[in-house]
Structures are given as C-alpha cells and as structure tokens.
C-alpha cells in the first residue's frame, strides 16, 4: 500500500482525493490530513480514514480538535498545529505521495519540502510553481521526486505528452499547448457592467465546483494566467507557445499541437476526480467514480479567443512571465490580497486587475534566485497591495 498525505484535506480537491482513496482502500493508506480551520469536516474524515497525523494550522482550532478526539474512537491520532507541521507530515518516511492542495502561497513551503524529500507530488497548488518555478523544479530534479499535475488542464497536457514524459522537460515534437478555459460566469456580460459584479456572482462557476478564491480567479481569468505560467514551467515551454482557448463546455481540458500537424486533446466530464485518479494510479489507470462522457449529450463544442479587455488579469500574467524574475511572485501575492478584499466587499470586481498592475509597477525586475528572496518579495507585495487598497477605498 502507498502512504498518502493530503495537504488541504477539507478543500474541494482534498474531498475529491479522499473519495478516490475510498474507492481504492486496498492501494492507499492515509498517513496524514491537514486543514486550516474546518475541524468539523476534518473530524468526519478522520473517523473514516483514521490517519496517523492531523495538522490543524490554526492553533486554537487545533486545541479544540484535540479535545474532541479525547474519548473518541480515534483518540490515538497525533494532532499538530502551526504551518511548520505541514512540512513535517509532507516528509514523513511512510508517506509516498503528497497531494498538495493548499490554495495560494501558503502551500509553497510544504510542497517544496515534499519535492526535496523525493516524494510523488500530486500538485494542485499552482501558486507554488508560479512563485518559485526554477527552485521547485531544481528540487524535483535533484531529489528524484515525481511531479504529477492535478489541475485539469495541466493533467490533460501531461496525458497528451509522449510516452515516458517527465514534468520539467521539453517534448521536442510538441509545438504548442492549447490551454482551455471555460471563460467563467462573465464571458458574455457587457464589460461596462462588470464593475457591479458581486462576490456571490463571481463564485458561481458554470461548470466546476471550486473554492471561493479559485472561483474568483476563474471569473477574472487570473486562474488561467497562473496556469499559463505553470504550464511554461511544467512543460518547459515559452509563453508564446501557450495559447489560451475559451471553450465554454469544459469537455476538452487542454490540447497539445505537434510538429506534424497532429493535435491531441484530453476529454472528459468536468470532475476533478478524473485528474486525481489518473495521477494516483499513474502510470496505470483505475476507476475514478466519474460518469463516462456521453458524447451525444455534448452535441457541440465552441472555441474562441479571450478578450483581454474583458480579462485584463490574463494580460498581466503574460506580462509577469515575460518580465520574469520576481514578477510572477508579485503578481500572485497582489492577486491573493485583491481577491480577498473583493470577497470581503472592500473593492469592486474590476479593481482586482487595477491593484495587481499598480503593485507590479512598484517593483524593479530582479532574479528570483533564492527562496528567501521569493518569500521576502511575496511579503512586500502583500503589504503594498494592502496600501493600494486602502488608497482606493478612502
């Protein structure tokens, strides 16, 4: 049996991962589960999967969870707290695979620790690569870790690569990546109405069940911008070799265009258990619990180019990767702060790209050569973004 650690067990990816684990309980043993504050769901997961370790990052919630475990059938579970405990459980000797599903910059350090420890990394945290691409991929290469992308798009690309392909390498025969996007809930909304978008509208994704932050990123298409940067790193491609394609039906999850004119596409129902199951079973396949795709129900598939006036966040992502160095880190940090402010109803939907661009303009380009530099720039960009937001609302 393989030991698995799930970073972010109570989020949508974590829940889907445990669903797949349940279907293959003879193959996987849950060693550790982590959460931030959602201890009610975490308790239910522990009852079912009985991990050795649990990390509750929030210290008060961790104490509350410890009390709940007393006199319960799972009282022997070791409860840890604080962010450094995430790195500890991700590098345990009996952990073979790490599902890296913590959203945002918070997932960087435990994901990187798993890479340095030579684990099989099921990477659902795109921000880790956006912030520290070269450093992360170097850690994977030096330790012999295996990096398998979980994002439906990157997983689709991985599936369309030649046999034996390993993340971080350039497939010489691959000419372009066609990165599909649903276009989110505002694909057809008049641009002059987008300033009035509410958080509730922004998180109502038409096809995918995702957390609030990622849903807003999908609505602004920053999600696709971050995925474009991630694709450059994962598949050793240049930005001009990654073409974003809006495909509202979300049936084709991405495509690879080869030099002979062949375009390979990976298709399936929009359910994250497909890429999760593929990565967990790799290099084999096993059942995911997802209904087979009925091609006759699809009936049609549409494709269009993204409008960068409607989706300026996508333009900013291309700008960040073109500038290079620390700029993707700045982009990601400013976006996280801006999205949080929007969800808290402090700013308008259309202020998100405005804040990001103003923050990017405050930084000079320099190499992101060490983890210390990356973490320092991340902190600086967050402080600057808060200042820009305060100027906007006062």
Write down the domain spans for the chain.
2-149, 153-269+301-309, 324-394
In angstroms, what is the C-alpha Rg of the chain? 20
Section 364-386 average pLDDT? 96
Q: What is the largest CA-CA distance in the chain?
A: 65
Coil, strand or helix: which one is 334? helix
Return the minimum-mean-pLDDT range out of 85-99, 181-195, 229-243, 313-327. 181-195
**Separation of CA 319 from chain center:** 20
Among 143, 303, 346, 308, residue whose Cα is nearest residue 225: 308
The pLDDT-based confidence of 362 (bands split at 50, 70, 90) is very high
CA–CA distance, 332 with 377 (Å, rounded to integer):
11
C-alpha–C-alpha distance, residues 110 and 117, integer Å = 10
Place 120 in a pLDDT band, splitting at 50, 70 and 90.
very high
Instruction: State the pLDDT at residue 156.
Output: 98
Mean pLDDT calculated for residue range 353-363: 98
What is the structure's pLDDT at 209? 61
What does the pLDDT look like over 154-207, one tens digit per residue? 999 999 999 999 999 999 999 999 999 999 889 999 999 999 999 999 988 666
The stretch 284-312 carries a mean pLDDT of 95
Phi-psi region of 379 (alpha: psi -120 to 50; beta: other; left: phi over 0): alpha
Q: What is the mean pLDDT of residues 214-220?
A: 92
Q: Which helix (H) or strand (E) holds 200?
A: helix 199-202
pTM: 0.91
- Asked whether the predicted pLDDT for residue 387 surpasses 70, the reply is yes
Between the two ends of the chain, the Cα-to-Cα distance in Å is 57
Residue 320 banded pLDDT, cuts 50, 70, 90: very high
| Alpha carbon distance 119, 223 (integer Å) | 26
DSSP 65-79: HHHHHTTSTTTT-EE
CATH number for the region 2-149 comes to: 3.40.50.720
CATH code that applies to domain 324-394: 1.10.1740.10
Higher local confidence (pLDDT), 22 or 203: 22
Considering the chain, what is the average pLDDT of its residues? 95
In 36-150 the beta strands, taken as DSSP E runs, fall at 53-56, 78-81, 97-100, 120-123, 146-149
| Burial (0-12, 13-18, 19+ Cβ within 10 Å), 343 | middle
pLDDT tens digit sequence for 260-282: 999 999 999 999 999 999 999 99
pLDDT for residue 394 is more than 90 = no
Of all residues in the chain, the percent with pLDDT exceeding 70 is: 98
């Amino acid at each position: 049996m393989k030991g698995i650690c799930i970073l972010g067990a109570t989020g949508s990816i974590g829940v889907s991962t445990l669903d797949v684990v349940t279907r293959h309980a003879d193959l996987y043993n849950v060693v550790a589960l982590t959460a931030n504050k959602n201890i009610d769901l975490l308790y239910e997961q522990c009852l079912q999967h009985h991990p050795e370790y649990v990390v509750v990052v929030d210290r008060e919630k961790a104490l509350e969870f410890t009390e709940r475990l007393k006199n319960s059938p799972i009282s022997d579970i070791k409860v840890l707290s604080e962010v450094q405990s995430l790195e500890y459980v991700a590098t345990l000797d009996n952990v073979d695979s790490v599902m890296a599903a913590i959203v945002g910059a918070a997932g960087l350090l435990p994901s990187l620790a798993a890479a340095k420890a030579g684990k099989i990394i099921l990477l659902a945290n795109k921000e880790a690569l956006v912030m520290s691409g070269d450093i992360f991929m170097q850690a994977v290469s030096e330790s012999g870790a295996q990096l398998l992308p979980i994002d439906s798009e990157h997983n689709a690309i991985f599936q369309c690569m030649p046999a034996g392909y390993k993340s971080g390498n350039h497939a010489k025969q691959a000419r372009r990546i066609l990165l599909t996007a649903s276009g989110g809930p505002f694909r057809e909304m008049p641009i002059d109405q987008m300033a009035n978008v509410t958080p509730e509208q922004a998180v109502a994704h038409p096809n995918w069940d995702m957390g609030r932050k990622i849903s807003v990123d999908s609505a602004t298409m920053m999600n696709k911008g971050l995925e474009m940067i991630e694709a450059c790193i994962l598949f050793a491609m240049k930005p001009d070799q990654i073409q974003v394609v809006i495909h509202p039906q979300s049936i084709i999850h991405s495509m690879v265009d080869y030099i002979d004119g062949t375009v390979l596409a990976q298709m399936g129902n929009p359910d994250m258990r497909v890429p999760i199951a593929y990565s967990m079973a790799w290099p084999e396949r096993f059942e995911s619990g997802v209904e087979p795709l009925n091609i006759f129900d699809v009936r049609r598939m549409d494709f269009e180019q993204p409008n960068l006036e409607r989706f300026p966040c996508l333009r900013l992502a291309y700008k960040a990767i073109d500038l290079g160095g620390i700029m993707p880190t700045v982009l990601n940090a400013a976006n996280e702060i801006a999205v949080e402010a929007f969800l808290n109803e402090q700013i308008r939907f259309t202020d998100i790209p405005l804040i990001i661009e103003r923050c990017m303009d405050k930084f000079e380009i320099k190499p992101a050569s060490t983890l210390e530099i990356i973490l320092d720039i991340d902190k600086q960009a967050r402080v600057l973004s808060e200042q820009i937001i305060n100027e906007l609302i006062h």
